Amino acid sequence: MLICIPDILSKAEVADFRRIMDATEWEDGRSTAGAQSAMVKRNEQLPPDSETARVLGQRVLSALTKNPLFISAAIPLHIFPPLFNRYAASDGHHFGVHVDNAVRGDRLTGLRIRTDLSVTLFLSEPEDYEGGVLTVEDYYGSHEVKLPAGHLVLYPASSLHLVTPVTRGTRVASFFWLQSMVRDAHARSMIFDLDMAVQALVERLGRDDPETVKLTGIYHNLIRYWADV
């Protein structure tokens, strides 16, 4: 399940992020890559343990917890501290085909998570760069993603994916992973579809409609059945 979620950050918030990031030193993005990924990864990132990365990461996490669509799609248990990367055309940056590590650990907090879902939060407008397309492979083919700044894409961490070479401008994004309360991707997808249907019924019939209440109960009972917390 690949889901695009709009307006995680406002345009003003994106501009403030970029102002802070532009004044910060970057490092080789391979410092956080696994052995296989490091062979095909060519980009830069903010040092993960730097104060800038941590402060901006907390702002991303705060925005995520306020977004109902993100919560519904991810049903997050643990969210890895957000990281930030940059792909510059001048350096021929790209990220070849790879799969994300199954487990990620954070040195500062000691947090270890199973990476159920990968997240990319775009911090550059699509017209500001050429190339730099996130391409995700799944059972149904390839999906190309290039979203407006402040928008986010959520996709299975088990997917093969890549970022095509940036040929003009600079692509900046936040990227991270999360462990969902619902480990099974198919179950999580069905729960999300049910939640979207319930919310549509709430708009039409009201939250106190007896059938809406019943379906809401089924939604929560399914999470209770599948949740691993």
DSSP 140-198: TEEEEE---TT-EEEEETTS-EEEPPEEEEEEEEEEEEEEES---HHHHHHHHHHHHHH
CA distance 3 to 110: 29
pLDDT at site 120: 98
92 Ramachandran zone, left/alpha/beta (phi>0; psi -120 to 50): left
CA distance 104 to 48: 13
pLDDT tens by residue, 102-136 = 999 999 899 999 999 999 999 999 999 999 999 99
For residue 147, give the nearest of 175, 167, 180, 189 by alpha carbon. 175
pLDDT at site 175: 97
Q: Which two tokens stand for residue 171?
A: 């692509």
CA distance 62 to 16: 15
CA distance 171 to 165: 10
pLDDT at site 81: 97
pLDDT at site 149: 98
For residue 217, give the nearest of 125, 52, 209 by alpha carbon. 209
pLDDT at site 29: 85
Hey, is 227 helix, strand or coil? coil
CA distance 121 to 169: 18
| Contact of 75 with 59, CB cutoff 8 Å | no
| Contact of 178 with 152, CB cutoff 8 Å | no
Residues of the chain with pLDDT under 70: 33-35
| Contact of 89 with 129, CB cutoff 8 Å | yes
Q: Read off the amino acid at residue 38.
A: A
The answer to whether the pTM exceeds 0.85 is yes
pLDDT at site 24: 93
CA distance 155 to 153: 7
pLDDT at site 195: 97
